[in-house]
A and B are shown apart, each in its own frame.
Chain A
Amino acid sequence: MTIREAAEALGCEILQNEFEDSDLQGGYTSDLLSDVMANAKSGAALITIQAHKNTVAVATLAALPAIVVCNSRPVPDDMLASAKDEGIAVLRTAESQYVVSGKLYALLPAGAA
C-alpha cells in the first residue's frame, strides 16, 4: 500500500504533498526520537506526536518516507519546509497514535513491521 493510499484509508490530511509515493514497508510508533533512530525499519511510516524539524531529520536519517502526526497536533511551517526539501510526506489526523497504529497494522500486508 502506498503512502497516498494509506493516507486516504486512514482519513489523514496531507500537509506536505511533494514526495515519492512509495509502498509503505510498515509503521513505527514512538515519540522518542532516539528510539526511532535506533529501532524503526526503513520504509516505515513514523506515527508520532512530535511535530518539529527534528522529526524530519530523524525520518530522513532513518529512511522513513512518511510522518503521521496524531491528535491534530499543530505542524510548524519550518517542519513542512524541510520535509519538502527531503521529499518526506507529512500526514495529520485527529486520531491517537494507538488508533492510527492499529488501523495501519490492519491495512498493511502481514509481515510488515
Chain B
Amino acid sequence: MSDASTIPISPDDSPSMVLELIYQLKIKDVMTGALITAKRGDSLRHIQGIMRDNYITGLPIAENLRLLGIVSIDDIVTALDKGYIDESAEMHMTRNVIVLEDDMPLSFAISYLNKFRFGRFPVLNKNRELVGIITSKDVIKALLVEMNREVLKLEETQRMNHAAPANDGATELEFSTTRYDFEAAGHASTEIKKALKGLELDPKLVRRIAVACYELEINQVVHSYGGTIRCSIRGDTVTIVAADSGPGIPNLDLALQEGWSTANEWIRSLGFGAGMGLTNTKRVSDEFFIESEVGTGTTVRSVIRIGEAAS
C-alpha cells in the first residue's frame, strides 16, 4: 500500500518557500472543522451508512468533544468479512488513536501522514477536545491554494522587476537590499547579469557592469540601513542607481580613496570592507556620480556605455 496518503514533501529538505508554508500554516488552518462523529453505542452498520452518505473513510467516536476512538473503512470491511457489522463501535473501534494538536504547524501533519499508515488524524485542542480531522486531501488542498498564492506573488514581483515600457525597448530592474543580509547580497548583481545575457555584449562590458552592481550592492549591505539597486538598460547605456536611506557618508573624498574603509572586523573577516568598492565602481564606469548627506542617505549613479548592442 505505497501510499495514496503519502505527501511528497519533505519537512527538512524542500524549497524554502514550501518550508515556510508548512511551518507557518497551522493544522487548524487546514483541518476539516465541521466534524462528523458517531457515538460509542452506534452499530458499525450505522457508521458505514454515515461514511457512505458523506463520502468519508474514517469516523471518530466521541462523547461531548472527548475522543474515544476511531472507526475506519478497513474496520468496516473486516466487520463485514467476519460478520460482526451489527455490533457496536465501542467493541471494535481503534482506541489507541494517534492525534495531532490544532496549534502544531502543518509540517507535523505531513510527517505523521508519511510515517504512519493512517489516512486521517483527529485533531485536538489544548484542552484535549476534539475539534477536527485532517486527511492528506486537506493537506494537499491547502498547499495547492497557498502555493498558487505564492506563485501569483512571485509573478507580480517579476513583472515589477522586469517592467519594461514596450515603446522604447528599455529594461528596468529594481532590487532592494537589507543591512547585513549577506545571504541575499549578490542577488541583484546576479539577476542583472542574467538580464544582460540576451544582449550578447562583450564579456568585458558585462564584467564592468557586474563589478559596478556588485560593489554598490555590497556597499549598501555593509554600510547602509538598506536601499535599492535600480538598473536600466536603455539604448546604448546601462545606468545603475544605488540609493540608500542612510546613514550617509561624512567625507566623500575619504570614501573615494582606495583602501579607506569603515568596515568592522567581522565584515572584513567575510572578505568585504577592503575599501575598494567605490573606487572599483568608479574605475569601471563611463560616468560616475555620488551624492551623500549624513542623516539622509547616499545615491550613486554609474553609467556604462554598451555601444549599439542594446538598441
Contact = CB atoms under 8 A, between A and B. Distances in A.
B15 to A, nearest CB: 11
A52 interface: yes
Given A53-B182, A54-B185, A62-B210, A33 B271 contact: yes
Nearest to A61: B210
A32 interface: yes
Contact of B271 (A50, A60, A61, A62): A50
Interface stretch (B138-146, B156-164, B272-280): B272-280
Interface string A22-47: 00000000011111011000100000
Interface in B193-230: 193, 203, 207, 210-211, 213-215, 218
A55 interface: yes
B270 A52 contact: yes
Interface in B224-270: 270
Given A34-B277, A35-B274, A53-B182, A63 B190 contact: no
Nearest to A50: B271
Interface in B42-69: none
Interface string B87-121: 00000000000000000000000000000000000
B276 A32 contact: yes
A57 B276 contact: no
B235 to A, nearest CB: 24
B190 A33 contact: no
Contacts of B272: 33-34, 54
B186 interface: yes
Interface residues of A, number: 23
B211 A37 contact: yes
A62 B212 CA distance: 12
Contacts of A42: 203, 207
B308 interface: no
A35 B273 CA distance: 11
B204 to A, nearest CB: 9
Contacts of B207: 42, 61-63
A42 to B, nearest CB: 7
B271 A32 contact: yes
Q: Counting chain B CB atoms within 10 Å of each CB, which of A31, A50, A54, A56 scores highest?
A: A54
A57 B185 contact: yes
B270 A34 contact: no
A38 B211 contact: yes
B153 interface: no
Nearest to A78: B183
A11 B226 CA distance: 42
B276 A38 contact: yes
Contacts of A60: 186, 190, 193
Contacts of A63: 203, 207
Nearest to A38: B280
B37 interface: no
A58 interface: yes
B149 interface: no
B271 A54 contact: yes
Contacts of A37: 210-211, 214-215, 280
A61 B189 contact: yes
Interface string A74-88: 000010000000100
Contact of A32 (B210, B211, B274): B274
Contacts of A78: 183
Interface in B156-178: none
A37 B190 CA distance: 13
Contacts of A86: 190
B128 interface: no
Interface string B179-193: 000110111011001
